[in-house]
Structure 1
């Protein structure tokens, strides 16, 4: 089912006043009324405009529509949350309304409209519903980036959000708010932090939804992650790789002594068990060896390389390529 942008249909912005909506509707109703209009598809357009106005002119329906549709654009695939149909339909019927009683124009509604407001009471007086209905607020998502160190140590952070909030007159306006939250130890990229009750506010007496913070790691100068495991490229000199050595190297929890086995090559992984991201089963930390050559920028350095060439004159670094096309 496609999402219908009622604001776009009427030709107003999401923060339009009731007067703006009424004025825009009247203009379009005169233009597309099937009794007088010469426009192509006038009857269909008149139904679309009337349906949009029925929702946007009613503070309760408009608030519910704004809650469900804040993250959608016209034409996108849309399904209302599972709790929607049960919560508002039972609430409205308990007040004595019948299904279909709420139609202002008496015309057939779209599948989109019916999926949102089927069973909702809507006896209207002066453009307002006489009864409210209750609906649980929509869950919301926000993306956050944290450092790898935050996952190792845990942290408390503050998030600045700009979210839609309903005012007393039923208008939806964007407001800034700050939310303090805890980053748990061991959280991985792709997981989320749930902040209960921090999502979109409910309609009527409905409870607010939850806010889910989708976690990604900030790019790090040294470290990268794969699941719970952490990797770091460790530069080594040719003689350290060939002869073996003990070197000092960093980890997110402090520096350690690393033993380079003799005969190591670029790409070899040295594992520190349990030193990856913390958790019930902690990840591992890996050093990935990267052979680093000193520059031949002095006569002494050039002579040293010449000596190596003489000492290893039978060594062919491209032997594995022989015979290849």
Structure 2
């Protein structure tokens, strides 16, 4: 995705006062409003201006955006948020609606999933939202993790400071990607004596070196030797729940899927594991290996292109 320099879009300095940012936004919005300046280019600029003000006009988002550094990459350059970004910040409610289309940069940094606590707003302090990343294996057994959140807080005089806090989070067994965990009273504080809001954590899985997650099912590529595929064999397959025996049938082919029922993510019902066979040839760089392959070429009546005709 491309980096968006919101200060440059609004034409203000990085230390601009909130009032100056609002003035710059209004001026730019009038300039590029489709009713005043029709055309695709003006419409695109109008969307950029709105997105910039959505960030810089909100004290929490602006503070988080400024955490990216005082020397950001050139506007429009390819950019990747810090690896801990999605799980290190929490934002209170009042964000843009799901129907508003913003850039990939905004979506990656500030958008949260559909709010599961909309019907609970107004009872206490604002609900907050963040992400927590776990290992695939954690979903099989459950785990307790310490989550450190950085929350932009508006001080009594309008100043912004980023506060850090650590929270113990119990991840239940069988949790799925995209599922939300509610922590009552861990959201934004409320004025007066009212209770704080709730914190909703969206669960994400860290990339796994072997398995790909799709719903409750896991998918993997299983390398097999040519003789294992031809003769059939029994292999030991490491799964997130432990090692299991998997039978490779005779005359197996590359791309063939083998299913381990109920070995996917825990649940009711549990998911499955699908292992896609991939035949891997051994290295034939030694004289012994070459002689072995040459013997097979002479002795086996096998034409892999027989179905092509001709």
1:288 counterpart = 2:276: yes
1:238 counterpart = 2:226: yes
* Distance (whole Å) between structure 2 residues aligned to residue 291 and residue 149 of structure 1: 27
Q: CA offsets per residue over residues 22-52 of structure 1, 9 Å max, x none?
A: xx79xx99xxxxxxxxxx9xxxxxxxxxxxx
Query: Could you tell me which residue of structure 1 aligns to residue 69 of structure 2?
Result: none
- 5 Å matches for 1:1-325? 136-165=124-153, 167=155, 171-313=159-301, 315-322=302-309
Q: CA offsets per residue over residues 44-89 of structure 1, 9 Å max, x none?
A: xxxxxxxxxxxx9xxxxxxxxx9655789xx989xxx7777xx6xx
Aligned residues: 218
| Deviation of 1:165 (Å) | 3.4
Distance 1:319 1:141, change over 3 A: farther
Whether the 8 Å contact between 2:233 and 2:249 is mirrored in structure 1 is yes
Gaps of 5+ in 2: 1-9, 24-30, 32-56, 58-90, 103-117
| Deviation of 1:210 (Å) | 1.8
* Distance (whole Å) between structure 2 residues aligned to residue 208 and residue 281 of structure 1: 36
Distance 1:167 1:271, change over 3 A: same
Query: Could you tell me which residue of structure 1 aligns to residue 52 of structure 2?
Result: none
Query: Could you tell me which residue of structure 2 aligns to residue 59 of structure 1?
Result: none
Distance 1:169 1:293, change over 3 A: same
TM-score norm. by structure 2 comes to: 0.60
SS at match of 1:148: coil
Whether the 8 Å contact between 1:240 and 1:260 is mirrored in structure 2 is yes
| Deviation of 1:257 (Å) | 1.9
TM-score norm. by structure 1 comes to: 0.57
SS at match of 1:308: helix
SS at match of 2:258: strand
* Distance (whole Å) between structure 2 residues aligned to residue 205 and residue 318 of structure 1: 78
* Distance (whole Å) between structure 2 residues aligned to residue 194 and residue 67 of structure 1: 14
Distance 1:10 1:207, change over 3 A: farther
| Deviation of 1:317 (Å) | 2.1
* Distance (whole Å) between structure 2 residues aligned to residue 192 and residue 320 of structure 1: 52
Distance 1:269 1:82, change over 3 A: closer
Distance 1:241 1:270, change over 3 A: same
SS at match of 1:198: coil
Distance 1:169 1:211, change over 3 A: same
Rg larger in 1 or in 2?
A: 1
Whether the 8 Å contact between 2:92 and 2:129 is mirrored in structure 1 is no
SS at match of 2:262: coil
Q: CA offsets per residue over residues 149-172 of structure 1, 9 Å max, x none?
A: 110110000111111335566755
